[in-house]
Amino acid sequence: MQIEMEAAPPAPEVPQGIILRSMLVGQEEREIVRTIQDSFKDQWGVAEEPFEQYYTRFISQAGSG
């Protein structure tokens, strides 16, 4: 699917109170994985994976984008 825009879309706005930052490597991986898994736990066909398996796949996909 494609769309031709006449102008660039507006810059995204981060809601007040939200801070975007990199994760603290070696400190926050488990909490981040738990948050992601919790956000999709009710989606049909999604199965929880062990941390190590999920994190390895997550990091490999993050680097391919």
Average pLDDT of span 30-51: 90
CA atoms within 13 A on the CB side of 28: 8
Helix axes 51-62, 29-40, angle to 10 degrees: 90
* Mean pLDDT, range 23-30, rounded to an integer: 92
What average pLDDT score do residues 37-47 get?
Answer: 89
Q: Quote the pTM value.
A: 0.61
